Chains A and B, each alone.
Chain A
Amino acid sequence: MNFHDSYLEDCLNRKIIFFTGKGGTGKSSLAWATAIACQKKGKQVTVASWSRYSDSLASIPTFDVRIEWIPLETLSAFHEYALHLLKFEKIYDVVFENQILKIFILAAPGLSETVIAGKIWDLWHEKKKELIIVDMPSSGHAISFFQSPLGVKKIFHIGIVHKNTVRICEMFSDPETRIDLVALAEELPITESLELKQKLSVLHPFHFGFVHINQMTPELALPTKESLEALAISSRRCLERHMNHLVQEKNLVEMANRMELPILKIPRLATENQTKTVTGLADILEKM
């Protein structure tokens, strides 16, 4: 699939978009903002996330229907999965009364990630879900997640889990699947994104989408030369910091260009709370 001209247009033509990147870069905010922007265009959007703070975001009022939010949690995903196999809740309860099993599910290598990936596959497979946005955990965990079906394939040679991993890999490399990277205009998040893209490229033939550089210093009007001299020292220091940040960010954006992906510069918003941030970001993304 070729890139569509605009960000929003591209999003509307996908079936699933994964938001990944370093912790604290604003993946959840951008994932939700994208969901809102797409929903405004009439898409049926589902957001799936690990983050526990998403529930406060799920209640953001949007146009018609609320965006559906699916929390991704290992034990409940496993429960669903096993129920599907066992058919009877009672049998499941007998089996899973067992504490050891719970420990096993949480601690067995790659199992937790594969179970979650299976859950995402189920959502992806559902016809009525038009667009699924996945708010991923930070880089390291994201790599484990995308790696898990490969690792699990090596450990589980047969069985249902093995079969599922094949399907999951298909979903990852589907042309209607997109991977977006979220970073800040700071050294560590940018280098981490560069590495992340490299590491992920080795795992699956992913279709990478956009690099979001979040919380960029906005380019607003500076004071005139005459008024500059009249400013207090503290205000001048603020301007100096501002200018410095602009220069640094320019360099970092250049570095991000090495990813050879379209870059979205997302400004840092002066908003009081998360709801306002997300709705503000949605307005910005809508025009991108």
Chain B
Amino acid sequence: MNGLFENKRVFLIGGPGGVGKTTVAASLGIALAQKGYKTIVLTVDPAKRLAQALGFDNFERDIQKVPLPSPSQGELFASMLDSQRYFDRIIERFAKNPEQCNKILNNPIYRIGTENLGGTHEYAAMERLLEFSNNHEYEKIIIDTPPSQNAVELFKAPQRLSSFMDSSVLKWFTGSRPGFVKLFHRSTRLAMKLFERLFGSDFLTSFGNFLEDLHGMHEGFKNRNLEVIQLLQSELTSFLLVTYPSEIRYHECVSFLGTLQERGIPLQAIIFNKTEQSIQPEDLKSSSILEYYQKIYDIQRCWMREFSNYLPHTPIIELPRLPQEPHQLADLSQIGEKLLR
């Protein structure tokens, strides 16, 4: 088995939307389980048939056992992230008492916030990862990262939430709410005035109340954020970038790698999904179709060279385009074999 996979425990499968992250995550899960590991795959939003292949016909259970295509010592589990429900659980955990918890869960600002707020999925995914990682039952953990406009969001979300919950924000708001007689800094007073004009004073009151409800939870969020960072930087964690060899993906990848570097997270491998295969040169003249595919092949090779020039030491794994979208466990298992080779 490839050392890339043998010596690591946590695999983050990242990359832009639509490149096949979930397929890669599921395939890797099957392959590792077939090698005898107790493995869990956390996915965010699988295609329906892929979800069925993984046993998510009913969404009642949080963790499902997935039957393996051939008998093995290992076991495969799959978990699908329901961000909203999961976020509620996070609040339950960090709340000091049931009363505080209920107050927050029933607050309209919280409801709208967790439904709408960018980064909720990302935060929930990272939090869930931490949970699986702290559970020593699982030998291999694979996490299919949420599709983001910008993959960087994954790392920023926990941090942003943590700073939002920062006690200084709380103090600022609760301490400077209208009706409170206190000495303010000039900027605070002006900001408050602006806020009132923009949002109305009743919003400030309810927002202040909401923040007051959150009081005392910040430590919890901050500590979890630190734990997430530690886990991501750990030697047992591996980041795999799934992408496609084209110009736009190349630029995305370069900018994304910058973010990984800033955070001290190494990239373990690049996985090119859905690549074309070359055509026999003598066949090219026989149809415009073959010429077309050869042209795509050439362009892909050209961008793959750009990627490897940029990252000369990063292993590259190639997964050729399949005749059909892989939905059966057997198809996924084949892809998984290719990954481990």
**A95 surroundings in chain B (CB, below 8 A):** 187, 190-191, 194
Q: How far is the CA of A65 from the CA of B73 in the complex (A)?
A: 66
**A227 surroundings in chain B (CB, below 8 A):** 286-287
Indicate if the CB atoms of A98 and B187 lie closer than 8 Å: yes
Indicate if the CB atoms of B200 and A158 lie closer than 8 Å: yes
Indicate if the CB atoms of B293 and A242 lie closer than 8 Å: yes
Q: Which of A160, A186, A237, A248 contacts B197 (CB 8 A)?
A: A160
Closest to A24 in B: B18
Indicate if the CB atoms of B18 and A53 lie closer than 8 Å: no
Indicate if the CB atoms of B121 and A109 lie closer than 8 Å: no
Indicate if the CB atoms of B147 and A23 lie closer than 8 Å: yes
Q: How far is the CA of A237 from the CA of B279 in the complex (A)?
A: 10
Among residues 258 to 308 in chain B, which have CB atoms less than 8 Å away from a CB atom of chain A?
Answer: 276-280, 282-283, 286-290, 292-293, 295-296, 299, 302
Within 8 Å of chain B (Cβ to Cβ): is A138? yes
Within 8 Å of chain B (Cβ to Cβ): is A51? yes
Q: How far is the CA of A237 from the CA of B255 in the complex (A)?
A: 36
Within 8 Å of chain A (Cβ to Cβ): is B65? no
* CB proximity of A245 to chain B, nearest CB, Å: 8
Q: Which of A85, A110, A272 contacts B198 (CB 8 A)?
A: A85
Q: How far is the CA of A82 from the CA of B187 in the complex (A)?
A: 14
Q: Which of B118, B169, B277, B280 contacts A103 (CB 8 A)?
A: B169
- On chain A, which size bracket covers the interface? 35 or more
* CB proximity of A78 to chain B, nearest CB, Å: 9
Interface string of A74-113 (1 = CB under 8 A from B): 0000000010011000010011111011011011111011
**B252 surroundings in chain A (CB, below 8 A):** 53
Indicate if the CB atoms of B116 and A113 lie closer than 8 Å: yes
Q: How far is the CA of A156 from the CA of B204 in the complex (A)?
A: 9
Within 8 Å of chain A (Cβ to Cβ): is B36? no
Indicate if the CB atoms of B198 and A159 lie closer than 8 Å: yes
**A232 surroundings in chain B (CB, below 8 A):** 279-280, 282-283
Q: How far is the CA of A184 from the CA of B19 in the complex (A)?
A: 12
Q: How far is the CA of A52 from the CA of B282 in the complex (A)?
A: 43
Indicate if the CB atoms of A101 and B323 lie closer than 8 Å: no
* CB proximity of A226 to chain B, nearest CB, Å: 10
Closest to B282 in A: A232
Interface string of A228-239 (1 = CB under 8 A from B): 001110110111
**A270 surroundings in chain B (CB, below 8 A):** 292, 295-296, 299
Interface string of B7-42 (1 = CB under 8 A from A): 000000000111100000000000000000000000
Indicate if the CB atoms of B289 and A239 lie closer than 8 Å: yes
Interface string of B301-322 (1 = CB under 8 A from A): 0100000000000000000011
* CB proximity of B70 to chain A, nearest CB, Å: 25
Indicate if the CB atoms of B290 and A239 lie closer than 8 Å: yes
Q: How far is the CA of A24 from the CA of B21 in the complex (A)?
A: 12
* CB proximity of B246 to chain A, nearest CB, Å: 8
Within 8 Å of chain A (Cβ to Cβ): is B58? no
Q: How far is the CA of A234 from the CA of B48 in the complex (A)?
A: 31
Q: How far is the CA of A148 from the CA of B117 in the complex (A)?
A: 10
Q: How far is the CA of A23 from the CA of B289 in the complex (A)?
A: 28
**B200 surroundings in chain A (CB, below 8 A):** 156-159, 161-162
Indicate if the CB atoms of B18 and A184 lie closer than 8 Å: yes
Among A4-12, A33-41, A139-147, the stretch that binds chain B is A139-147
* CB proximity of B43 to chain A, nearest CB, Å: 12
Among A120-128, A173-181, A214-222, the stretch that binds chain B is A214-222
* CB proximity of B212 to chain A, nearest CB, Å: 15
Indicate if the CB atoms of B248 and A53 lie closer than 8 Å: yes
**A2 surroundings in chain B (CB, below 8 A):** none
Within 8 Å of chain A (Cβ to Cβ): is B150? yes
Indicate if the CB atoms of A187 and B160 lie closer than 8 Å: no
Indicate if the CB atoms of A237 and B277 lie closer than 8 Å: yes
Indicate if the CB atoms of B198 and A161 lie closer than 8 Å: yes
Q: How far is the CA of A27 from the CA of B287 in the complex (A)?
A: 31
* CB proximity of B18 to chain A, nearest CB, Å: 2
Q: Which of A97, A112, A221 contacts B187 (CB 8 A)?
A: A97
With most chain B CB atoms within 10 A of its CB, the pick from A24, A53, A231 is A24
Q: Which of A24, A223, A234, A242 contacts B280 (CB 8 A)?
A: A234
Within 8 Å of chain B (Cβ to Cβ): is A287? no
Indicate if the CB atoms of B18 and A144 lie closer than 8 Å: no
* CB proximity of A84 to chain B, nearest CB, Å: 11
Indicate if the CB atoms of A187 and B48 lie closer than 8 Å: yes
Q: How far is the CA of A239 from the CA of B173 in the complex (A)?
A: 65
Indicate if the CB atoms of A235 and B283 lie closer than 8 Å: yes
Indicate if the CB atoms of B203 and A271 lie closer than 8 Å: no
* CB proximity of B160 to chain A, nearest CB, Å: 6
Among residues 161 to 191 in chain A, which have CB atoms less than 8 Å away from a CB atom of chain B?
Answer: 161-162, 184, 186-189, 191
Q: Which A residues are closer than 8 A to B by beta carbons?
A: 22-25, 50-53, 56, 82, 85-86, 91, 94-98, 100-101, 103-104, 106-110, 112-113, 137-138, 140-141, 144, 147-148, 151, 154-162, 184, 186-189, 191, 218, 220-224, 227, 230-232, 234-235, 237-242, 244-245, 248, 268, 270-274
Going nearest first, the 7 A-B pairs with the smallest beta carbon separation are A23-B17, A24-B18, A109-B113, A159-B200, A158-B200, A232-B280, A24-B17
Given A85-B194, A159-B198, 20 extra CB contacts under 8 A = A24-B16, A24-B18, A53-B248, A86-B194, A100-B172, A107-B161, A147-B116, A157-B203, A187-B47, A187-B48, A220-B287, A221-B289, A231-B280, A232-B280, A234-B279, A234-B280, A238-B279, A240-B323, A248-B324, A274-B246
